[in-house]
A and B are shown apart, each in its own frame.
Chain A
């Protein structure tokens, strides 16, 4: 233990602790800006770049950044001397002098780290304005993410997420000095880069330099158009996080309130993506079993492991970076797209309207979903199966805008027939959930026996890579799970080298799975929130009467009435897809 003094308080801290953390333990909250501690993801981003967190250390010539200066024995630290406060103020003024002054109309207003610290430091004036050059860049609109680098403060959290956590490598710091900024190569559009739209950069951006594409106004327009029937599907992870936006404790389930709010907003039918998740299990599980059976019978032409394909960020990742493995992920569409395909065929004909007059909106914890639903593969004659996707954050904003008192809403139920789901579908929202759901069904179909317990705790948790072997009545099935694309890369490299012993692997692009998606309420670095959301998801599973996808009566009926059986020709046409090689190829002139 190291003894030190901070603001005249005697403090003990472990060796290697930073001044910032030691102070925090002692109840002294030093403002930090570029710093980001994602403890559960093993990421501590401390470039010591913004210099907001500087403190005075006796005996040192210069002020020290508390976020990255480690404590030493006998150290005497002052966090609010005149010298410190003056320096902090001037540094903040400098940042603001190179930042647009449009807080009133900024999408991040009220949720902006820069704004919060400016308030905390009592900034009332931005000097240098009469002489200041402001660094400006072209705004980049992609289907999911908007980059407005005029608002970038070079905290470089996005760069860390994109490169260290996700290993996507779409973003890097470029240029130097005043014109340095984070951007894709050659400042190309994100759309042309290797970006997967996982949205983890957006999730940590302290300002509005990186935001999601906002479809709320489009939605309001559609909802008020009498010639359209607007229906909605909600992803499982949304209900475990939406409450946070209304001040509820992280981990509060708000399924019923959410349904109620959506109905209030004017959606004609409020459906559940979970229904489609059950459908996904039917297709993906059957495909998995088919490949597994062949493999176990000694057919060496079968590609294993089978990889889940419900995460669009992950699909984008392997389509651009692991193009040699395009034939091993399951061909099953994601639940969002299965829902859209069924809604605009089966359901549209049920309520007797043309697909053009049916608008399918999805509420997703995800930004990649915005891109996914506008892919050409998911359109019929140019009309998309899912018209557009809005994020959990956008939904919260919409509810507030519509003056709906979310907290006092009573619980409501999803509509039939696309609203019923099993517990297996709910856990799609967290890492390990998809594969657990698949096993619940595959086990019973493969062995012909009923599962005695549905909870596979060995598949759960926050470890980046997890593995388990499930006994399929004497046949050991090796399961791998990765969340976060960096972890996915590790498993994929193993497959590439032929070292993988897994039969099936679940991959989610975001840490924690969809509960940690790029469209969720901002956790501001408090990764324990992810664990709370995860617990909520498993609680919802527990509370369901049906726990296995193949027992969902509406799914059974859908096959009877419409699809035939899993992997049928019709199911193939509507519920399966193919993957595209998006890697950059060199073509010679």
Chain B
């Protein structure tokens, strides 16, 4: 057991502490805290979870247990342009799988990975409720509807300088 090196600036740790405090350092609010912190940092690396555990006075093993239970939480930084392919039923029956394959092929990465240049990452998304637009792909906050595999290259191109 040893000291951990927090790869964060002091002000960032203060930010986390501030978020925990805004929820009264209440362990029941762990999930809300994780949402807020992920919203601020983009992901939840181990060091961040250690700080949260200390502030809420819960074992860090429990925090990790919660982080790994919910698919919304991630311990890996996403790409600058996170690509999410909806794999809900409506999108699936309208060919989301082939769209996903195309993204994987074009970018050379698997689901959950980020390209080496840090620009793109791929994740699967469960129904965003835009089934009318199936299959749906989101890049960041922008939604693409009725995506077909041959549109994939153009979508990626939009984000490549």
Contact = CB atoms under 8 A, between A and B. Distances in A.
Given A191-B1, A584-B1, A584-B50, A174 B6 contact: no
Nearest to A187: B64
Interface in A547-589: 582-589
A193 interface: yes
Given A172-B59, A582-B1, A588 B6 contact: yes
B2 interface: yes
B62 A172 contact: yes
A186 interface: yes
Interface stretch (B8-16, B88-96, B108-116, B138-146): B8-16
A173 interface: yes
A49 B6 CA distance: 37
Contacts of A320: 1
Contact of A176 (B1, B10, B53, B69): B69
B49 interface: yes
B49 A185 contact: yes
A172 B10 contact: no
A194 interface: yes
A169 B9 contact: no
Chain B interface: which size bin?
20 to 34
Given A185-B60, A194-B59, A587 B65 contact: no
A310 B69 CA distance: 39
B4 A587 contact: yes
B46 A186 contact: yes
A171 B61 contact: yes
A422 B46 CA distance: 51
Interface centre among B4, B8, B10, B59 (most CB of A within 10 A): B59
A589 B49 CA distance: 17
A184 to B, nearest CB: 6
Interface in B1-60: 1-10, 13, 46-47, 49-51, 53-54, 58-60
B1 A585 contact: no
A192 interface: yes
Contacts of A191: 1
B68 interface: yes
A38 B12 CA distance: 45
Given A589-B7, A589-B8, A193 B1 contact: yes
Interface in B113-136: none
Contacts of B65: 172-174
A176 B50 CA distance: 21
A542 interface: no
A193 B60 CA distance: 9
Given A320-B1, A587-B5, A589-B9, A170 B50 contact: no
B4 A586 contact: yes
A168 B62 CA distance: 11
B2 A192 contact: yes
A497 to B, nearest CB: 14
Contacts of A170: 59, 61
A352 interface: no
Nearest to B62: A172
Contacts of B4: 584-587
A200 to B, nearest CB: 15
A403 interface: no
Contact of B8 (A173, A585, A588): A588
A162 B65 CA distance: 14
Interface centre among B1, B6, B58 (most CB of A within 10 A): B1
Contact of A169 (B5, B7, B54, B62): B62
A169 B10 CA distance: 27
B3 A585 contact: yes
A186 B64 CA distance: 6
Contacts of A193: 1, 61
Nearest to B71: A176
Interface centre among A163, A183, A588 (most CB of B within 10 A): A588
Contacts of A169: 58-62
Contacts of A545: none
A171 B62 CA distance: 8
B63 A185 contact: yes
Contacts of B46: 185-186
Nearest to B51: A586
A376 B3 CA distance: 18
A172 B61 CA distance: 5
A175 interface: yes
B91 to A, nearest CB: 22
Interface in A384-401: none
Nearest to B50: A584
Interface centre among B51, B63, B68 (most CB of A within 10 A): B68
A500 to B, nearest CB: 20
Contacts of A583: 1
B69 A175 contact: yes
B64 A192 contact: no
In the A-B complex, the 10 residue pairs with the smallest Cβ-Cβ separation, listed nearest first, are A169-B59, A172-B65, A172-B61, A185-B64, A185-B60, A585-B3, A185-B61, A582-B1, A588-B10, A174-B68
Given A176-B68, A194-B59, A588-B6, 20 more contacts: A168-B59, A169-B58, A169-B59, A169-B62, A171-B61, A172-B65, A174-B61, A174-B64, A175-B69, A185-B49, A185-B60, A186-B49, A186-B64, A193-B1, A584-B1, A584-B2, A585-B3, A586-B13, A587-B5, A589-B7
